[in-house]
Structure 1
Amino acid sequence: MATPMSLNICSLPSDPLLHVLSYLNYDDLCRCRCTCKRLKELAGEDELWKRQSSIWWLSTSCSSSTWRRHFKEQFKNLGRYIKSYGVLYRTWARLEAFLAEHCPRLLTSIKAGATERELDEIEVKIRYPLPNDVRCSYRMHNGQKLVGPGLMGCMSISNHMRSEYLLDLQTASDCFQEYSGMYGCLPLTLCIHTGCSQFMALSEREGYLRGQVFYPSQAADT
Protein backbone atom coordinates (compact mmCIF):
# COMPACT_ATOMS: atom_id res chain seq x y z
CA MET A 1 0.00 0.00 0.00
CA ALA A 2 1.38 3.40 -1.02
CA THR A 3 2.23 5.88 1.70
CA PRO A 4 0.14 9.12 1.41
CA MET A 5 2.19 12.09 0.34
CA SER A 6 2.39 14.78 3.01
CA LEU A 7 1.07 18.19 1.94
CA ASN A 8 2.93 21.38 2.80
CA ILE A 9 3.46 24.86 1.44
CA CYS A 10 6.55 23.88 -0.51
CA SER A 11 4.67 21.22 -2.44
CA LEU A 12 1.87 23.55 -3.65
CA PRO A 13 2.08 25.21 -7.10
CA SER A 14 2.97 28.90 -7.20
CA ASP A 15 -0.12 30.17 -9.04
CA PRO A 16 -2.75 29.23 -6.41
CA LEU A 17 -0.47 30.46 -3.64
CA LEU A 18 -0.02 33.81 -5.39
CA HIS A 19 -3.79 34.01 -5.82
CA VAL A 20 -4.28 33.53 -2.07
CA LEU A 21 -1.54 36.07 -1.28
CA SER A 22 -3.23 38.64 -3.52
CA TYR A 23 -6.05 38.88 -0.96
CA LEU A 24 -3.70 39.80 1.87
CA ASN A 25 -2.91 43.24 3.22
CA TYR A 26 0.58 44.75 3.04
CA ASP A 27 1.34 43.94 6.69
CA ASP A 28 0.19 40.32 6.22
CA LEU A 29 2.45 39.99 3.20
CA CYS A 30 5.36 41.18 5.33
CA ARG A 31 4.52 38.56 7.97
CA CYS A 32 4.37 35.85 5.30
CA ARG A 33 7.87 36.78 4.19
CA CYS A 34 9.09 35.89 7.68
CA THR A 35 7.63 32.38 7.78
CA CYS A 36 9.65 30.36 5.28
CA LYS A 37 11.87 30.67 2.23
CA ARG A 38 9.09 29.75 -0.20
CA LEU A 39 6.65 32.34 1.10
CA LYS A 40 9.39 34.93 1.38
CA GLU A 41 9.98 34.53 -2.33
CA LEU A 42 6.31 34.48 -3.35
CA ALA A 43 5.23 37.34 -1.06
CA GLY A 44 7.89 39.51 -2.66
CA GLU A 45 6.39 39.15 -6.15
CA ASP A 46 6.16 42.54 -7.82
CA GLU A 47 2.54 42.17 -8.95
CA LEU A 48 1.45 41.81 -5.32
CA TRP A 49 3.18 45.06 -4.37
CA LYS A 50 1.88 46.83 -7.46
CA ARG A 51 -1.60 46.03 -6.16
CA GLN A 52 -0.72 47.24 -2.65
CA SER A 53 0.73 50.47 -4.08
CA SER A 54 -2.43 51.02 -6.10
CA ILE A 55 -4.70 50.42 -3.10
CA TRP A 56 -2.85 52.46 -0.49
CA TRP A 57 -0.88 55.10 -2.42
CA LEU A 58 -3.12 55.25 -5.52
CA SER A 59 0.03 54.75 -7.58
CA THR A 60 -0.34 54.31 -11.32
CA SER A 61 3.40 54.30 -12.07
CA CYS A 62 6.45 52.93 -10.29
CA SER A 63 9.01 55.49 -9.11
CA SER A 64 11.61 52.88 -8.14
CA SER A 65 13.28 49.76 -9.53
CA THR A 66 10.47 47.48 -8.25
CA TRP A 67 6.94 47.93 -6.98
CA ARG A 68 7.93 46.54 -3.60
CA ARG A 69 10.67 49.15 -3.28
CA HIS A 70 8.22 51.81 -4.46
CA PHE A 71 5.76 50.78 -1.73
CA LYS A 72 8.50 50.85 0.93
CA GLU A 73 9.67 54.32 -0.10
CA GLN A 74 6.12 55.65 0.02
CA PHE A 75 5.60 53.99 3.39
CA LYS A 76 8.78 55.56 4.75
CA ASN A 77 7.48 58.99 3.78
CA LEU A 78 3.76 58.61 4.50
CA GLY A 79 3.35 55.37 6.42
CA ARG A 80 1.72 56.91 9.48
CA TYR A 81 -1.08 58.19 7.23
CA ILE A 82 -1.71 55.00 5.29
CA LYS A 83 -5.28 54.55 6.57
CA SER A 84 -6.40 58.07 5.63
CA TYR A 85 -4.12 58.91 2.69
CA GLY A 86 -6.31 57.48 -0.09
CA VAL A 87 -9.53 59.19 1.03
CA LEU A 88 -7.86 62.56 1.55
CA TYR A 89 -5.88 62.39 -1.68
CA ARG A 90 -9.03 61.67 -3.69
CA THR A 91 -10.93 64.44 -1.89
CA TRP A 92 -8.26 67.05 -2.61
CA ALA A 93 -7.98 65.84 -6.22
CA ARG A 94 -11.73 66.24 -6.79
CA LEU A 95 -11.67 69.69 -5.21
CA GLU A 96 -8.70 70.77 -7.32
CA ALA A 97 -10.39 69.54 -10.51
CA PHE A 98 -13.58 71.43 -9.64
CA LEU A 99 -11.71 74.65 -8.85
CA ALA A 100 -9.59 74.37 -12.00
CA GLU A 101 -12.80 74.37 -14.04
CA HIS A 102 -14.94 76.80 -12.10
CA CYS A 103 -12.62 79.03 -10.02
CA PRO A 104 -8.95 78.98 -11.12
CA ARG A 105 -8.20 82.05 -9.02
CA LEU A 106 -9.16 80.22 -5.85
CA LEU A 107 -7.08 77.21 -6.86
CA THR A 108 -3.94 79.36 -7.10
CA SER A 109 -4.46 80.52 -3.51
CA ILE A 110 -4.09 76.99 -2.09
CA LYS A 111 -0.61 76.44 -0.66
CA ALA A 112 1.68 73.48 -1.17
CA GLY A 113 1.81 70.81 1.52
CA ALA A 114 3.71 71.10 4.80
CA THR A 115 6.65 68.87 5.67
CA GLU A 116 6.79 66.36 8.51
CA ARG A 117 9.30 68.60 10.25
CA GLU A 118 6.97 71.59 10.06
CA LEU A 119 4.11 69.53 11.46
CA ASP A 120 6.31 68.26 14.30
CA GLU A 121 7.40 71.82 15.12
CA ILE A 122 3.78 73.01 15.27
CA GLU A 123 2.89 70.20 17.68
CA VAL A 124 5.79 71.20 19.92
CA LYS A 125 4.65 74.83 19.75
CA ILE A 126 1.01 74.19 20.70
CA ARG A 127 1.89 71.26 23.01
CA TYR A 128 -0.84 69.02 21.57
CA PRO A 129 -0.65 66.28 18.90
CA LEU A 130 -2.72 66.83 15.78
CA PRO A 131 -5.08 64.04 14.67
CA ASN A 132 -3.37 61.86 12.08
CA ASP A 133 -5.88 62.62 9.30
CA VAL A 134 -5.44 66.36 9.92
CA ARG A 135 -1.68 65.99 9.61
CA CYS A 136 -2.17 64.04 6.41
CA SER A 137 -4.35 66.78 4.92
CA TYR A 138 -1.74 69.42 5.81
CA ARG A 139 0.89 67.26 4.09
CA MET A 140 -1.12 67.69 0.89
CA HIS A 141 -2.06 71.36 1.25
CA ASN A 142 -1.06 73.76 4.00
CA GLY A 143 -4.05 76.11 3.97
CA GLN A 144 -4.42 79.02 1.57
CA LYS A 145 -3.19 82.54 0.98
CA LEU A 146 -5.50 85.23 2.36
CA VAL A 147 -6.25 86.65 -1.07
CA GLY A 148 -9.28 86.34 -3.30
CA PRO A 149 -12.27 84.21 -2.25
CA GLY A 150 -12.15 81.89 0.73
CA LEU A 151 -12.00 78.15 0.14
CA MET A 152 -14.59 77.38 2.82
CA GLY A 153 -17.29 79.60 1.32
CA CYS A 154 -17.75 83.07 -0.11
CA MET A 155 -21.21 84.66 -0.07
CA SER A 156 -23.22 87.80 0.60
CA ILE A 157 -25.36 87.56 3.73
CA SER A 158 -27.84 90.37 4.30
CA ASN A 159 -25.72 93.52 4.12
CA HIS A 160 -22.28 92.00 4.63
CA MET A 161 -19.82 89.68 2.90
CA ARG A 162 -18.60 86.37 4.27
CA SER A 163 -15.47 84.67 2.93
CA GLU A 164 -13.91 81.92 5.03
CA TYR A 165 -10.29 80.98 4.45
CA LEU A 166 -8.53 77.72 5.28
CA LEU A 167 -5.66 78.71 7.59
CA ASP A 168 -2.11 77.51 7.18
CA LEU A 169 -0.31 75.83 10.07
CA GLN A 170 1.70 78.84 11.17
CA THR A 171 -1.29 81.19 11.25
CA ALA A 172 -3.44 78.58 13.01
CA SER A 173 -0.79 77.92 15.67
CA ASP A 174 -0.30 81.67 16.25
CA CYS A 175 -4.02 81.87 17.10
CA PHE A 176 -4.09 78.73 19.25
CA GLN A 177 -6.52 79.23 22.14
CA GLU A 178 -5.45 78.81 25.77
CA TYR A 179 -8.12 80.71 27.68
CA SER A 180 -11.09 79.45 29.67
CA GLY A 181 -13.78 77.88 27.51
CA MET A 182 -11.40 77.34 24.58
CA TYR A 183 -8.35 75.58 26.04
CA GLY A 184 -6.66 73.36 23.49
CA CYS A 185 -8.67 74.63 20.50
CA LEU A 186 -6.96 75.24 17.16
CA PRO A 187 -8.53 77.56 14.56
CA LEU A 188 -8.94 75.94 11.14
CA THR A 189 -10.60 78.75 9.21
CA LEU A 190 -11.04 82.52 9.39
CA CYS A 191 -13.64 84.83 7.91
CA ILE A 192 -11.86 88.17 7.53
CA HIS A 193 -15.21 89.97 7.17
CA THR A 194 -16.81 88.71 10.40
CA GLY A 195 -13.83 87.49 12.43
CA CYS A 196 -15.55 84.09 12.89
CA SER A 197 -13.48 80.92 12.86
CA GLN A 198 -14.09 77.21 12.90
CA PHE A 199 -12.06 75.52 15.64
CA MET A 200 -10.90 71.97 16.22
CA ALA A 201 -10.65 70.64 19.77
CA LEU A 202 -7.30 68.99 20.50
CA SER A 203 -8.27 68.41 24.13
CA GLU A 204 -11.42 67.21 25.89
CA ARG A 205 -10.87 69.68 28.70
CA GLU A 206 -13.73 71.94 27.60
CA GLY A 207 -16.19 69.10 26.97
CA TYR A 208 -15.49 68.70 23.26
CA LEU A 209 -14.46 65.44 21.69
CA ARG A 210 -10.88 65.40 20.46
CA GLY A 211 -10.94 66.27 16.76
CA GLN A 212 -14.41 67.87 16.98
CA VAL A 213 -14.80 70.87 14.65
CA PHE A 214 -17.15 73.66 15.72
CA TYR A 215 -18.01 77.36 15.66
CA PRO A 216 -17.77 78.73 19.22
CA SER A 217 -21.12 80.56 18.95
CA GLN A 218 -22.91 77.43 17.75
CA ALA A 219 -21.30 75.31 20.44
CA ALA A 220 -22.46 77.74 23.10
CA ASP A 221 -26.06 77.51 21.84
CA THR A 222 -26.25 73.71 21.96
Structure 2
Amino acid sequence: MADQKGALLGLQRTNLREQAVAALRTAITSGELRPRSALVETELSERLGISRGTLREAMRQLQQEGLVVSGARGRLSVRSLDQKEIRDIFAVRGALESLAASELAAQPDRDALVTELRDTLARMANAGTERLDDRIEADLDFHRALCRLTGNDTLVHSWTSLEGSIRMSIMYAGTERAVGNMDVARHSVIIDAIAAGDPGAARDAVVAHLNWAADNLIATAV
Protein backbone atom coordinates (compact mmCIF):
# COMPACT_ATOMS: atom_id res chain seq x y z
CA MET A 1 0.00 0.00 0.00
CA ALA A 2 2.94 2.33 0.72
CA ASP A 3 3.95 2.48 -2.95
CA GLN A 4 0.56 3.72 -4.20
CA LYS A 5 0.38 7.26 -5.56
CA GLY A 6 -2.31 9.88 -5.24
CA ALA A 7 -3.51 12.21 -2.49
CA LEU A 8 -1.89 10.13 0.23
CA LEU A 9 1.72 11.23 -0.10
CA GLY A 10 4.22 12.49 2.47
CA LEU A 11 3.35 15.85 4.02
CA GLN A 12 5.31 18.94 4.98
CA ARG A 13 6.12 19.21 8.69
CA THR A 14 3.80 22.18 9.27
CA ASN A 15 0.13 22.03 10.15
CA LEU A 16 0.30 18.26 9.80
CA ARG A 17 -3.17 17.59 11.15
CA GLU A 18 -4.78 20.05 8.71
CA GLN A 19 -2.75 18.65 5.82
CA ALA A 20 -3.68 15.10 6.79
CA VAL A 21 -7.36 16.03 6.92
CA ALA A 22 -7.15 17.65 3.48
CA ALA A 23 -5.24 14.73 1.95
CA LEU A 24 -7.60 12.11 3.38
CA ARG A 25 -10.66 14.14 2.42
CA THR A 26 -9.42 14.35 -1.16
CA ALA A 27 -8.59 10.64 -1.24
CA ILE A 28 -12.11 9.80 -0.05
CA THR A 29 -14.05 12.17 -2.29
CA SER A 30 -11.95 11.27 -5.35
CA GLY A 31 -12.49 7.56 -4.81
CA GLU A 32 -8.84 6.78 -4.07
CA LEU A 33 -10.15 5.45 -0.76
CA ARG A 34 -13.32 3.60 -1.68
CA PRO A 35 -16.56 3.50 0.38
CA ARG A 36 -16.46 0.84 3.11
CA SER A 37 -12.68 0.49 2.81
CA ALA A 38 -10.92 0.00 6.14
CA LEU A 39 -8.68 2.81 7.36
CA VAL A 40 -5.64 1.13 8.89
CA GLU A 41 -3.57 3.43 11.07
CA THR A 42 -0.20 1.81 10.40
CA GLU A 43 -0.63 1.95 6.62
CA LEU A 44 -2.05 5.47 6.46
CA SER A 45 0.45 6.99 8.87
CA GLU A 46 3.27 5.48 6.78
CA ARG A 47 1.82 6.75 3.50
CA LEU A 48 1.28 10.25 4.89
CA GLY A 49 4.54 10.35 6.81
CA ILE A 50 2.89 11.36 10.10
CA SER A 51 2.57 9.91 13.58
CA ARG A 52 -0.39 7.74 14.47
CA GLY A 53 -1.42 10.35 17.02
CA THR A 54 -1.65 13.05 14.34
CA LEU A 55 -3.52 10.61 12.10
CA ARG A 56 -6.06 9.92 14.86
CA GLU A 57 -6.70 13.66 15.23
CA ALA A 58 -7.32 13.91 11.50
CA MET A 59 -9.63 10.90 11.61
CA ARG A 60 -11.69 12.48 14.37
CA GLN A 61 -12.18 15.55 12.18
CA LEU A 62 -13.28 13.39 9.26
CA GLN A 63 -15.74 11.56 11.50
CA GLN A 64 -17.26 14.91 12.45
CA GLU A 65 -17.52 15.77 8.76
CA GLY A 66 -19.34 12.50 8.03
CA LEU A 67 -16.67 11.04 5.75
CA VAL A 68 -15.46 8.35 8.15
CA VAL A 69 -17.51 6.03 10.36
CA SER A 70 -16.67 3.81 13.31
CA GLY A 71 -17.69 0.15 13.20
CA ALA A 72 -17.11 -2.94 15.30
CA ARG A 73 -14.44 -2.49 17.98
CA GLY A 74 -14.01 1.11 16.92
CA ARG A 75 -12.53 0.22 13.54
CA LEU A 76 -12.76 3.12 11.13
CA SER A 77 -13.81 2.91 7.51
CA VAL A 78 -14.85 5.21 4.68
CA ARG A 79 -18.54 6.03 4.88
CA SER A 80 -20.81 4.45 2.30
CA LEU A 81 -24.06 6.18 1.35
CA ASP A 82 -27.23 4.51 0.17
CA GLN A 83 -30.00 5.98 -1.94
CA LYS A 84 -32.13 7.02 1.04
CA GLU A 85 -29.20 8.89 2.56
CA ILE A 86 -28.62 10.68 -0.75
CA ARG A 87 -32.27 11.74 -0.81
CA ASP A 88 -32.09 12.86 2.81
CA ILE A 89 -28.93 14.91 2.23
CA PHE A 90 -30.37 16.66 -0.79
CA ALA A 91 -33.70 17.28 0.96
CA VAL A 92 -31.94 19.05 3.83
CA ARG A 93 -29.73 20.94 1.38
CA GLY A 94 -32.86 21.96 -0.46
CA ALA A 95 -34.44 23.32 2.71
CA LEU A 96 -31.34 25.31 3.64
CA GLU A 97 -30.35 26.60 0.21
CA SER A 98 -33.89 27.45 -0.88
CA LEU A 99 -34.26 29.51 2.30
CA ALA A 100 -30.99 31.24 1.46
CA ALA A 101 -32.03 31.98 -2.13
CA SER A 102 -35.43 33.35 -1.10
CA GLU A 103 -33.81 35.61 1.51
CA LEU A 104 -31.32 36.95 -1.02
CA ALA A 105 -34.07 37.59 -3.57
CA ALA A 106 -35.99 39.57 -0.95
CA GLN A 107 -33.08 41.94 -0.32
CA PRO A 108 -33.91 45.39 -1.74
CA ASP A 109 -30.25 46.11 -2.47
CA ARG A 110 -29.01 42.78 -3.83
CA ASP A 111 -26.85 43.88 -6.76
CA ALA A 112 -23.58 43.22 -4.92
CA LEU A 113 -24.84 39.80 -3.77
CA VAL A 114 -25.80 38.85 -7.32
CA THR A 115 -22.41 40.03 -8.61
CA GLU A 116 -20.59 37.83 -6.10
CA LEU A 117 -22.73 34.82 -7.02
CA ARG A 118 -22.01 35.41 -10.70
CA ASP A 119 -18.30 35.58 -9.85
CA THR A 120 -18.47 32.18 -8.14
CA LEU A 121 -20.30 30.81 -11.17
CA ALA A 122 -17.57 32.18 -13.45
CA ARG A 123 -14.99 30.34 -11.36
CA MET A 124 -17.06 27.17 -11.74
CA ALA A 125 -17.07 27.64 -15.52
CA ASN A 126 -13.31 28.22 -15.54
CA ALA A 127 -12.78 25.09 -13.45
CA GLY A 128 -14.39 23.01 -16.20
CA THR A 129 -10.99 22.10 -17.60
CA GLU A 130 -9.33 21.57 -14.22
CA ARG A 131 -8.94 18.51 -12.01
CA LEU A 132 -12.10 16.99 -10.53
CA ASP A 133 -11.07 18.21 -7.06
CA ASP A 134 -11.02 21.80 -8.32
CA ARG A 135 -14.40 21.41 -9.99
CA ILE A 136 -15.91 20.03 -6.80
CA GLU A 137 -14.52 22.95 -4.80
CA ALA A 138 -15.87 25.46 -7.32
CA ASP A 139 -19.32 23.87 -7.11
CA LEU A 140 -19.26 23.86 -3.30
CA ASP A 141 -18.07 27.49 -3.28
CA PHE A 142 -21.23 28.51 -5.15
CA HIS A 143 -23.59 26.73 -2.78
CA ARG A 144 -21.64 27.87 0.28
CA ALA A 145 -21.77 31.49 -0.95
CA LEU A 146 -25.52 31.20 -1.43
CA CYS A 147 -25.85 30.55 2.31
CA ARG A 148 -23.06 32.87 3.47
CA LEU A 149 -24.39 35.93 1.67
CA THR A 150 -27.59 35.81 3.72
CA GLY A 151 -25.61 36.82 6.82
CA ASN A 152 -27.52 34.10 8.70
CA ASP A 153 -24.84 32.40 10.80
CA THR A 154 -27.15 29.58 11.89
CA LEU A 155 -27.95 28.80 8.28
CA VAL A 156 -24.26 28.77 7.35
CA HIS A 157 -23.40 26.55 10.32
CA SER A 158 -26.15 24.09 9.40
CA TRP A 159 -24.95 23.90 5.79
CA THR A 160 -21.32 23.53 6.84
CA SER A 161 -22.20 20.63 9.14
CA LEU A 162 -23.45 18.79 6.04
CA GLU A 163 -20.39 19.52 3.92
CA GLY A 164 -18.71 16.15 4.43
CA SER A 165 -21.92 14.35 3.49
CA ILE A 166 -22.33 16.64 0.48
CA ARG A 167 -18.82 15.76 -0.68
CA MET A 168 -19.59 12.05 -0.35
CA SER A 169 -22.87 12.42 -2.22
CA ILE A 170 -21.22 14.23 -5.13
CA MET A 171 -19.14 11.15 -5.96
CA TYR A 172 -21.88 8.63 -5.19
CA ALA A 173 -22.46 7.55 -8.81
CA GLY A 174 -18.98 8.25 -10.17
CA THR A 175 -17.14 11.04 -11.92
CA GLU A 176 -19.36 11.41 -14.99
CA ARG A 177 -22.52 11.92 -12.93
CA ALA A 178 -20.70 14.20 -10.49
CA VAL A 179 -19.60 16.46 -13.34
CA GLY A 180 -23.16 16.48 -14.68
CA ASN A 181 -24.29 18.08 -11.43
CA MET A 182 -21.88 20.97 -11.97
CA ASP A 183 -23.64 22.35 -15.03
CA VAL A 184 -23.19 26.13 -15.08
CA ALA A 185 -26.46 26.89 -16.89
CA ARG A 186 -28.57 25.16 -14.25
CA HIS A 187 -26.84 27.15 -11.50
CA SER A 188 -27.40 30.34 -13.44
CA VAL A 189 -31.19 29.85 -13.20
CA ILE A 190 -30.91 30.30 -9.43
CA ILE A 191 -28.97 33.55 -9.77
CA ASP A 192 -31.40 34.89 -12.35
CA ALA A 193 -34.34 34.32 -9.98
CA ILE A 194 -32.48 36.08 -7.16
CA ALA A 195 -31.56 38.99 -9.45
CA ALA A 196 -35.22 39.33 -10.47
CA GLY A 197 -36.19 39.81 -6.83
CA ASP A 198 -38.63 36.88 -6.83
CA PRO A 199 -38.24 34.90 -3.56
CA GLY A 200 -40.70 32.21 -4.65
CA ALA A 201 -38.98 31.65 -7.98
CA ALA A 202 -35.56 31.62 -6.28
CA ARG A 203 -36.75 29.04 -3.76
CA ASP A 204 -38.29 26.88 -6.49
CA ALA A 205 -35.16 27.13 -8.63
CA VAL A 206 -33.00 25.75 -5.84
CA VAL A 207 -35.40 22.92 -5.05
CA ALA A 208 -35.65 21.96 -8.74
CA HIS A 209 -31.85 22.16 -9.08
CA LEU A 210 -31.17 19.87 -6.13
CA ASN A 211 -33.99 17.44 -6.96
CA TRP A 212 -32.51 17.06 -10.44
CA ALA A 213 -29.04 16.55 -8.97
CA ALA A 214 -30.25 13.83 -6.58
CA ASP A 215 -32.14 12.09 -9.38
CA ASN A 216 -29.07 12.27 -11.58
CA LEU A 217 -26.95 10.52 -8.95
CA ILE A 218 -29.47 7.88 -7.95
CA ALA A 219 -30.77 7.01 -11.41
CA THR A 220 -27.61 5.17 -12.46
CA ALA A 221 -26.46 3.94 -9.08
CA VAL A 222 -27.23 0.26 -8.70
TM-score tier after normalising by the smaller chain length? under 0.3
- Find the structure with the greater CA-based Rg: 1
TM score, norm. by length of structure 1 = 0.28
Greater relative contact order structure (CA < 8 Å, 6+ sep): 2
More helix by share: 2
More strand by share: 1
Query: TM-score, normalising length from structure 2?
Result: 0.28
